[in-house]
Amino acid sequence: MTKHKPIRKAVFPVAGLGTRFLPATKAIPKEMLPIVDRPLIQYAVDEAREAGIEQMIFVTGRGKTSIVEHFDIAYELEHTMSERGKDLSVLDSSRFTPGDVLTVRQQVPMGLGHAIWCARAIVGDEPFAIFLPDELMVAHTTDSGAGTGCMKQMVEAYEQTGGNLISVLEVPQDEVSSYGVIDPGAEDGALTEVKGLVEKPPVAEAPSNKIISGRYILQPEVMRVLEDQGKGAGGEIQLTDAMARMIGTQPFHAVTFDGRRYDCGSKTGFVEATMALALEREDMGADVRTIMQQLLGQGIQS
Ligand code: G1P
pLDDT at 146: 75
More confident residue, 98 or 23: 23
pLDDT of 301 above 90: no
Span 213-244, pLDDT tens digits: 999 999 999 999 999 988 899 899 999 999 99
pTM of the complete model: 0.94
* Cα-based distances in Å from 175 to 149, 279, 292, 296: 25, 28, 29, 29
Mutate which of 17, 168, 171, 179 for ligand 1? The one with the most ligand atoms within 8 Å of its CB, which is 179
Give the closest residue (by CA) to ligand 1 atom 1: 179
Give me the domains of the chain, ranges plus CATH numbers. Answer: 9-265 (3.90.550.10), 266-302 (no CATH)
Integer angstrom CA distances of residue 263 from 15, 40, 57: 18, 11, 22
Nearest-atom index, ligand 1, CA of 240: 9
pLDDT band at 1 (very low <50, low <70, confident <90, very high): low
pLDDT digits 0-9 by tens, 34-83: 999 999 999 999 999 999 999 999 999 998 999 999 998 888 888 999 99
